[in-house]
Amino acid sequence: MFFKQVGNRLIAQKDGETIWLEPFGKDCLRFRSTLNKEINEENWTLLSQPTIPALIDIQPMKATIKNGKIMAEILADGTVNYFTDGGKILLEELWIDGRISNADVLKARNYKALSSSLYRTDLYFKAYEGERLYGMGQYANGCLDLKGCVLELAQKNTQISIPFLVSTRGYGFIWNNPAVGRAELAKNHTLWHAKAGKQIDYLVIAGDTPVDIVKKYTDLTGKPPMLPEWALGFWQCKLRYRTQEELLNVAREYKKRGLPLSVIVIDFFHWPHQGDWKFDSEYWPDPQAMVDELEKMGIKVMVSVWPTVEINSENYLEMVKRGFLVRTERGVPTIFTFRGINTHFDATNPEAREFIWEKVKENYYKYGIKMFWLDVAEPELGMPGFGYDNILSYDYDNLRYHLGNGLEVSNIYPFYYAQAFEDGLRLAGEKEIVNLIRCAWLGSQRFGVVVWSGDIPSTFDSLQKQLRAGLNMAMCGIPWWTTDIGGFFDGDPNDPAFQELIIRWFQFGVFCPIFRLHGFRLPYPPDSNKCEPYDLTGGPNEIWSFGEEAYDIIKNLLFLREKIKPYLMEQMKRAHEEGIPIMRPLFIDFPSDDEAYDVEDEYMFGPDLLVAPILYEGMRSRRVYLPEGAKWTSAYNGTVHEGGQWIESEAPLNVIPVFLKNEAKIPISF
């Protein structure tokens, strides 16, 4: 191995491979390697960092580089390992002892040529007994600790790939590669696989605690902006309000009943064609009057925007000519066939982002609509449907984006989709930007987006998985996260079992960063892909739709949310300034309590509230772990408990177990 130093960068070369190791942010080292003639300097979505001096030492058999609390070594045989500044091993590449063969599977870093510059790459690290791993985005797999999981690195409805993890060994790891791939967090190894890329690119961050690592990670990827206070109120939505008058009647009913309502949502297919990005005047004849009336009631309106462009859209031909659409490498340029033959606008193309914003500005923003629901943000591919008629075909290799082939760059799409609206609203002079999106990537948090968990089932099993998925999203620097309260598919408002579920989901939702109701309730139209647009709607989904008992409980939760807004505003400020998520696993606040790492069905909501949702049908009490180092007061009955113990907590249907830390004064009652 040949070593040299260039500025603050350690460079190593052997057998055609070039390696760069350099400081990138506080206590962080960035690794890049390739078989190409040069390293690509692309940062993707990482923020540029100031040049940091590095301590580099080059010896005949190894070279080392140190940045604050982290040090790396490259041995003469090519092995790369990471240590704390005190010499503790953080992370080691995995090679077969003795280099008994040159076969690809025996190397830590593998490259399989796909073209003159693209490779399929594999990167192996050693696995460690007792290590726990958190983050990686949103996977509805029922796991908070991801050790032992195999995760597809691809964006899909309900699956969000944000390849950043936090290890209990004291490091964070960023896989800085938007390629489709796979992460194997297995017992015998950790593997990072990319199906196409020019190089291997990752960062290792050293930190004393999980929250220390998350803070440094958000220094590299961005802090979230402050959201306006009204965004912390209740959001009303369903699939779908068909007309302007139907939407207004729902808003009027909320006000008639004296219920707090911050946002009401106009869902999909309010447009003539996908890609028109405007109201269908037959059903939405006077958007300005609608917005004005809602504003007088103190309600913001959000409008669904899809990235899909139908061949019959008034914008299709122009977008084809100007290269603003995602193309196919071969065959017919059709990648989405829900209620029409479509492709997607190419969000990786800056001119296409400007184009779509100009259409949205002319057809929505001019009426005073400033909130946008960025749906299908993965983007979704194939022919989706409601029920069992999904035919989804994720042929990433057949996609051509402005930035490259789909295998190489697909995972970055939701980042640029959000940026299109962030940039447009900023240029229009807006300061309070709140958009809702179904997918995210490294750094999406800096665009003021609320991420929701996609089209999930209306079951208790789904609710259990959403809690863990939301906590792992928080570990990835995404503080504004939410679900469809009640789930999206198959909920029957008249079914007592669903009524219990939606009560329990509302109790979880009131202690989520964003408090939002949505769902496709029964009964369904006969064929969602073919029915008339007016008929594309589900059953009722307002808080009075689920029976009197449910209404009384849910109504009180709306007022509870209003009471805790000052507390939420304090936590929002901390998320904005420090990158600390509002909703987080217990070990973030109690890193020294070993038991806290075993608890996957409770969470802290800011520093002073412990929330233990009811996640099973028929449950009327549950075991709750109260972390050591604090006293905990039940918000239900006022009982004070010492920390460091498990208790049995009562949970009648109108109660979610919530505990206040050290006599915190937050107005919670049931």
Please tell me whether residues 194 and 235 are part of one structural domain: no
pLDDT score recorded for residue 390: 66
Q: Which two tokens stand for residue 459?
A: 């079951």
The full DSSP string for 439-495 is: ---TTGGGGTEEEE--S-BSSHHHHHHHHHHHHHHHHTT---EE--BT-SBS--TT-
The full DSSP string for 319-387 is: HHHTT-B-EESSS-S--B-SSS-EEEB-TTSHHHHHHHHHHHHHHTGGGT--EEEE-STTT--BB--SS
Q: Which two tokens stand for residue 48?
A: 């540029």
Beta bridge partners of 552: none
Q: Are 550 and 536 in contact (CB under 8 A)?
A: no
Please tell me whether residues 616 and 520 are part of one structural domain: no
Beta-carbon count within 10 A of 265 CB: 23
Phi and psi at residue 508, to the nearest 5°: -70, -45
Residue 11 domain-assigned? yes
- CA–CA dist 276, 131 (Å, integer): 50
Residue 128 domain-assigned? yes
234 Rama class: left (phi>0) / alpha (psi -120 to 50) / beta: beta
Residue 49 domain-assigned? yes
For the cut 90, the answer to whether the pLDDT of residue 387 exceeds it is no
- CA–CA dist 491, 497 (Å, integer): 9
Q: Which two tokens stand for residue 398?
A: 């057949």
Residue 87 domain-assigned? yes
Over range 204-208, report the average pLDDT: 98
Orientation angle between helical segments 548-563 and 496-509, nearest 10 degrees: 0
Q: Are 465 and 140 in contact (CB under 8 A)?
A: yes
Rg of the chain over Cα atoms, rounded to whole angstroms, equals 25
Please indicate whether residue 617 is annotated as part of the active site. no
For the cut 90, the answer to whether the pLDDT of residue 107 exceeds it is no
Torsion of CA 586, 590, 595, 599, to 10 degrees: 0
CATH, residue 454: 3.20.20.80
For the cut 80, the answer to whether the pLDDT of residue 105 exceeds it is no
- CA–CA dist 128, 164 (Å, integer): 18
Q: What percent of the chain has pLDDT over 90?
A: 94
Please tell me whether residues 268 and 137 are part of one structural domain: no
Q: Which of 122, 145, 378, 422 is catalytic?
A: 378
Over range 386-398, report the average pLDDT: 76
- CA–CA dist 541, 520 (Å, integer): 8
Residue 407 domain-assigned? no
Q: Are 219 and 25 in contact (CB under 8 A)?
A: yes
Q: For 255-311, what is each residue's pLDDT tens digit?
A: 999 999 999 999 999 999 999 999 999 999 999 999 999 999 999 999 999 999 999
Q: Which two tokens stand for residue 367?
A: 């009426």
For the cut 90, the answer to whether the pLDDT of residue 670 exceeds it is no
Domain boundary among 518, 543, 578: 578
pLDDT score recorded for residue 529: 78
Torsion of CA 134, 135, 140, 142, to 10 degrees: 10
Q: For 635-654, what is each residue's pLDDT tens digit?
A: 999 999 999 999 999 999 99
Please tell me whether residues 177 and 131 are part of one structural domain: yes
Please tell me whether residues 239 and 192 are part of one structural domain: no
Over range 6-17, report the average pLDDT: 96
Residue 192 to residues 16, 117, 141, 181, 296, Cα–Cα distance (Å): 21, 19, 19, 8, 53
Residue 408 domain-assigned? no
For the cut 50, the answer to whether the pLDDT of residue 98 exceeds it is no
- CA–CA dist 138, 444 (Å, integer): 14
pLDDT band at 583 (very low <50, low <70, confident <90, very high): very high
Q: Which of 201, 212, 267, 375 is catalytic?
A: 375
Beta bridge partners of 236: 264, 517
Please tell me whether residues 606 and 570 are part of one structural domain: no
Residue 212 domain-assigned? no
pLDDT band at 389 (very low <50, low <70, confident <90, very high): low
Please indicate whether residue 375 is annotated as part of the active site. yes
Look at the chain and report how many structural domains it folds into: 3
Residue 13, SS3? strand
Q: For 600-613, what is each residue's pLDDT tens digit?
A: 999 999 999 999 99
Beta-carbon count within 10 A of 127 CB: 18
For the cut 70, the answer to whether the pLDDT of residue 35 exceeds it is yes
27 Rama class: left (phi>0) / alpha (psi -120 to 50) / beta: left
Over range 484-507, report the average pLDDT: 97
Please tell me whether residues 371 and 242 are part of one structural domain: yes
CATH, residue 69: 2.60.40.1760
Pairing assessment for the beta strands 327-328 and 234-236 based on DSSP bridges: unpaired
Please tell me whether residues 243 and 186 are part of one structural domain: no
Over range 467-479, report the average pLDDT: 98
- CA–CA dist 307, 259 (Å, integer): 34
Please tell me whether residues 200 and 235 are part of one structural domain: no
Residue 33, SS3? strand
Question: Largest alpha-carbon pair distance within the chain?
Answer: 80
Residue 199 domain-assigned? yes
Average pLDDT over all residues of the chain: 96
Please tell me whether residues 538 and 605 are part of one structural domain: no
Q: Which of 73, 184, 455, 589 is catalytic?
A: 455
Please indicate whether residue 455 is annotated as part of the active site. yes
Q: For 520-573, what is each residue's pLDDT tens digit?
A: 999 998 887 788 888 999 999 999 999 999 999 999 999 999 999 999 999 999
Over range 317-322, report the average pLDDT: 98
CATH, residue 642: 2.60.40.1180
Please tell me whether residues 571 and 604 are part of one structural domain: no
Orientation angle between helical segments 244-256 and 287-296, nearest 10 degrees: 10
Q: Are 283 and 243 in contact (CB under 8 A)?
A: yes
For the cut 50, the answer to whether the pLDDT of residue 10 exceeds it is yes
Please tell me whether residues 181 and 290 are part of one structural domain: no
Give the domain range for residue 538: 229-305+349-375+414-578
- CA–CA dist 80, 594 (Å, integer): 30
